[in-house]
Amino acid sequence: MPRPQKERKVLEPPKIQGLKPVGVPARFLDRIYLTVGEYEAIRLADYDGLDHQQAAEIMGVSRPTFTRLIEKARRKVAESIVDVKELVIEGGNYSFATQLQRCMDCGEFVRFQFPKQMTTVCSTCGSSNIVHLNEWFAGRGGHGFGRRGGFRRGHGHQG
């Protein structure tokens, strides 16, 4: 049995569930799984430009753990580009600090902290075609409030 992984603190859900290579039929594609924690490591270190110590504190892990996390994450992203693999973001042990919804008609994002703040109608365009991004990842390794299940189970990926 692997040692249970310490929960990674993640600000909010990734805005996508994955990335697909362009110009390659789906039947030729293998998948590579980036955990939500690995996604967050890339966001903090490579997108926000934080150093490993700062990023480790934000995610609630040690600096060596963060360094391993970002190295694994970069390796996977590189492999998805070079070996042409579909990059799927899922799994790992994590919790989101923020809830994120998106209007699928106008693209507007809404962030909130508590269930009662969840919206059913877009304040920008009036559409009710709203997705709750945390739900994408619910039952796939992380947790938070709200409905669970209805999604593919995680694959036990560590990271």
Which residues in this chain contact Zn ion in the complex, by CB under 5 A?
103, 105-106, 108, 122, 124-125, 127
Two structure tokens written together for 35:
């955990």
Half-sphere exposure of 31 (CA within 13 A, CB side): 12
Min. distance of Cβ 128 from Zn ion in angstroms? 9
CB of 12 or CB of 108, closer to Zn ion: 108
Distance CA 35, CA 30 (A): 16
CB of 95 or CB of 124, closer to Zn ion: 124
Min. distance of Cβ 112 from Zn ion in angstroms? 15
Min. distance of Cβ 18 from Zn ion in angstroms? 23
CB of 126 or CB of 156, closer to Zn ion: 126
Name the pairing type of β-strands 94-96 and 142-143: parallel
Question: Residue 96: which of 36, 6, 12, 40 has the closest Cα?
Answer: 12
Strand order in the sheet with 130-132: 109-112, 99-103, 130-132
CB of 107 or CB of 156, closer to Zn ion: 107
CA distances from 22 to 74, 132, 138, 158 (A): 20, 27, 28, 27
Q: Which stretch of DSSP H or E encloses residue 69?
A: helix 63-82
Min. distance of Cβ 147 from Zn ion in angstroms? 22
Min. distance of Cβ 129 from Zn ion in angstroms? 8
CB of 81 or CB of 104, closer to Zn ion: 104
